[in-house]
Amino acid sequence: MRLLYVTMSMPFGPGEAFFIPEVNELRRQGHELLIVPRSPRGTRVVNGDAKGLPALTLRRPVIALDIAGGAIAELCTHPFASLRVFGVLFKSRNPLTFAKNLIVFPKGLWLGRLANRWKADHIHVQWGLTTATMGLVASRVSGVPWSCTVHRGDIIANNLLTVKAREAQFFRVISEDGVALAAETCGRSLEGNVIVLHLGVDCPNHEPPLRSLHEPPVLMCPAHLIERKGQQYLLEALDILRRRGRRVRLLLAGEGDMRSFLESLTARYGLNDAVQFMGQVGHSDLLRLYQGGEVDMVVLPTLHEGIPVCLMEAMAHGVPVVSTRTGGIPELLRDGAGILTPMRDPPALADAIEGLLGDSEKRARLVQVGWRRVADEFSVEAVTNALVKHIPNGN
């Protein structure tokens, strides 16, 4: 199968590392990929396991002379289809969304021309935002079928979500919670082409052992330093633990606009010696920390999430996880695969961390159940096989 795979920026820049296992598995299965990032962020590949992907990537900005030339050529070749799909943009929910769609419209036409010239069998798009607008436009003008994976924030943003869900050959939602959210956002039940298919992660084929705790125990929160990830509540939970006499270390792996605030909060709580701001950590480097037993627990106090790949990867490598009851996380951590706490509740978070650190039998159960959950339902091989089966002639 020849597949155009549309992203926001991956493989360039630090984001979207959670797509890399799927892309690599598609390649391993023998499918021919051409990755088309909507807005490639620089030329640097941050994630080590994406090193081979630039050779498979057509790196072009949204606005460029060749994009404009390709769009004009496609408009001349398929004028009626181009004008009809342009009319769809006027269904955008507000002027700002319309403007964003208008900016990517030429690249959508260019992508349609590329799909025909490259003889693509299918176009698959990550995110339901302007990348999906490009996929919708490209499919309309080229006749090449397309599909879309939506996550959570892009569902809430509702950029022509109803139209995209209806017109995609299949509309992939990564959690059951996401299906309910999409139906609520669209104001009606979705079409029969909606599928629930998780993101997949690389999972060792044997159950990892329970490792002894470091002294002090090492916690990690692998997430962008942005407000909705909730690191501020985790720092408050650490302050509670410190006042109880429980010493821990916290590794904050990520960057974002909350870093200065979180650093000042760390100083205010007197936690400078316990908290390490690691900056952006490459995906392969993060996995090596798990594999090497450098992390005793992953904590994600998020306020808004689909099913976080960072939790799946920790569970796959035998690291017990604590997170919040939001989005698709209860689906992942059900039946004792992890610990759930209320959002914005530092005392409950502190209790969960302390209880898990003090109970080796409980940690052992979490490691066992967590690994089995990922191996059975979230392994990249199984997920990619299911994805390909939804693409006619994909096998």
The CATH superfamily of 218-377 is Glycogen Phosphorylase B; (3.40.50.2000)
pLDDT tens figures, 322-375: 999 998 899 999 999 999 999 999 999 999 999 999 999 999 999 999 999 999
pLDDT tens figures, 264-316: 999 999 999 999 999 988 888 899 999 999 999 999 999 988 899 999 999 99
For residue 311, count other CB atoms closer than 10 A to its CB. Answer: 28
2-200+379-389 has CATH 1.10.3720.10 classification:
no
> Would you say the CATH fold of 218-377 matches that of 2-200+379-389?
yes
Domain residue ranges of the chain, discontinuous segments joined by +:
2-200+379-389, 218-377
pLDDT tens figures, 83-105: 999 999 999 999 999 999 999 99
Share of the chain above pLDDT 90, in %: 81
- Beta bridge partners of residue 146, listed in sequence order: 123
Q: Which of 4, 14, 30, 54 is nearest to 283 (CA)?
A: 14
Query: Where does 280-386 show beta strands of DSSP type E?
Result: 297-300, 321-324, 339-341
Burial class (CB in 10 A: 0-12, 13-18, 19+), 161: buried
List helix spans (H) across 144-275: 153-157, 161-167, 176-186, 231-243, 259-268
